[in-house]
Amino acid sequence: MKLERPEHPAPVDAADRKGIRPVICYPVEGLPRPDLAAYRAAREGWSLVAEVLVPPREARTFEVPAGWFFRIVSVEGPQVGDLNLFAAENLGERFFSGKTRALHGTHLSTGDRMWSCLPHLRPMATITDDTLDWYGFDAFGGSVHDVIGTRCDPYTHALLSGGEQYHHCCHSNLTRAVADHWGLPAKAAELHVHDVLNVFMCTGFTRETGQYFMKASPVRPGDHLEFMAEIDLLGALSACPGGDCSAEHSSDVAACHPLKVQVFRPKAPPVGWVSPGPNAYDRSHGQE
Ligand SMILES: [Zn+2]
């Protein structure tokens, strides 16, 4: 955080320097854009082929082949979900929250994509519907589906609580789910767990101090966030112990609800769509 009282005096041209207008780091106009109309048309006559219920304070995995769709659905009550994505056959290619944030902003919605980590950097999934798109940004600067938080984890909790042990943070839930899927010990599996898309979570940064905040999620049963898988995916979703994240997480105090994942097989993939290949960079890094 910035000092309440700076230790160094402002230079004479401070106002000029601070008055420079910002420029967007990554103008998205340069990115390959998804043909959303074609994606949405492919939903016509699709079949619901799998449903996974994620119990409160637990995580579950699910598989979605390229060109298929999945929805994360609110059931029973307001609940936040922490989503990890992996290439189905390659644990090393996973969701890159930081670059997704740099490309699409702090909070995702329809048309935005979840990008994979370096050296892959290709779209893993595209958001095709968001029933909370009406929320926009509130008066506090908050919004839903952020890529600014990380995932609640027992290490941060131990630091802040004087060493308390809590085993149902999203990091641990995702670790157990990934461990079960790949038959790995927890200590090996947790190395693959990564920063998440905070589905339905309402977050922002305070204007005064720039601190990460959360507030009660506006999600209600029946709401969903829908994606099309750009590559063969393994997803892992945790129903956060924070519930609607109105008060606290990393404990069993909050009211928690399950989340449902639905997987849909379209009759045919979107017209004109091709699963993205490897990134165009040659990976030589300038080395002779
Ligand atoms: Zn969590």
Find the 170 Cα to ligand 1 centroid distance in Å.
Answer: 4
Q: How many CB atoms lie within 10 A of CB 73?
A: 21
Listed residues: CB within 5 A of ion ligand 1? 152, 170, 240
Find the 55 Cα to ligand 1 centroid distance in Å.
Answer: 13
Find the 201 Cα to ligand 1 centroid distance in Å.
Answer: 10
Compute the residue count for the chain. Answer: 288
pTM of the model: 0.94
Find the 250 Cα to ligand 1 centroid distance in Å.
Answer: 7
Cα 27 from Cα 102, distance rounded (Å): 10
Find the 209 Cα to ligand 1 centroid distance in Å.
Answer: 23
One digit per residue, the tens of pLDDT, for the chain of length 288 reads 999 999 999 999 999 999 999 998 888 788 888 999 999 999 999 999 999 999 999 999 999 999 999 999 999 999 999 999 999 999 999 999 999 999 999 999 999 999 999 999 999 999 999 999 999 999 999 999 999 999 999 999 999 999 999 999 999 999 999 999 999 999 999 999 999 999 999 999 999 899 999 999 999 999 999 999 999 999 999 999 989 888 877 777 888 999 999 999 999 999 999 999 999 999 999 998
- In degrees and rounded to multiples of 5, residue 29 shows phi and psi of -60, -25
Give the number of C-alpha atoms closer than 13 A to the C-alpha of residue 183, restricted to the C-beta side. 0
Find the 134 Cα to ligand 1 centroid distance in Å.
Answer: 24
